[in-house]
Amino acid sequence: MTKIYSLEEIDIVAQEILNISELKKVITFNAEMGAGKTTLIKALVKHLGVKDNSSSPTFSLVNEYETENGEVIYHFDLYRLNSEIEAYDMGIDEYFYSGNWCFIEWPNKTPNLIPIDHASISIKVLENGKRELTINN
């Protein structure tokens, strides 16, 4: 699926992503800094039923959210990660294989730890300020 959207349409895009048949629960987000990865993840988390404010886990590497029905969602920002060993030592593989939603920013920091069976979202900022999103499930 490829979609061009403005930030004002982020909620619609998030719902369209979640409506994808058999969407994988581990999703990587690939984009340059400031392209809107965290903004899209916030919208996804909201549509999944999280009422608390969500934010980027830049300093903690992972934020955990709970939906209204008790489902757990993990949001990773691996930008500050120094090595895959550091990620492995924090037990990142247990998160990835937990069966819970895992939204992963900067997955290129742990290429050997990302499950083979995952979805991938790429976001590109267009000259007019809109975003081009491509998802591979």
pTM check: above 0.95: no
Distance, CA of 126 to chain centre: 20
Compute the distance between CA of residue 86 and CA of residue 108 in angstroms, rounded to an integer.
14
The CATH number covering residue 28 comes to: 3.40.50.300
Grade residue 14 by pLDDT with cuts at 50, 70 and 90.
Answer: very high
Residue for token pair 């699926």: 1
Number of domains in the chain: 1
Query: Which domain, by its residues, includes 93?
Result: 2-136
Strand-by-strand arrangement of the 26-30 sheet: 2-5, 131-136, 119-125, 26-30, 101-105, 72-77, 62-66
Lowest mean pLDDT among 40-44, 49-53, 100-104: 49-53
How do residues 87-106 score in pLDDT, each as one tens digit? 999 899 999 999 999 999 99
Residue 7 has pLDDT above 60, yes or no: yes
Grade residue 51 by pLDDT with cuts at 50, 70 and 90.
Answer: confident
Residue 83 has pLDDT above 70, yes or no: yes
CA 96-102-108 angle, to 5 degrees, is: 75
Question: Going by DSSP bridges, is the β-strand pair 72-77/26-30 parallel, antiparallel, or unpaired?
Answer: unpaired
Grade residue 61 by pLDDT with cuts at 50, 70 and 90.
Answer: confident
Considering only the C-alpha atoms of the chain, give the largest distance between any 2 of them, rounded to a whole number of Å. Answer: 42
Q: Is 109 helix (H, G, I), strand (E, B) or coil?
A: helix
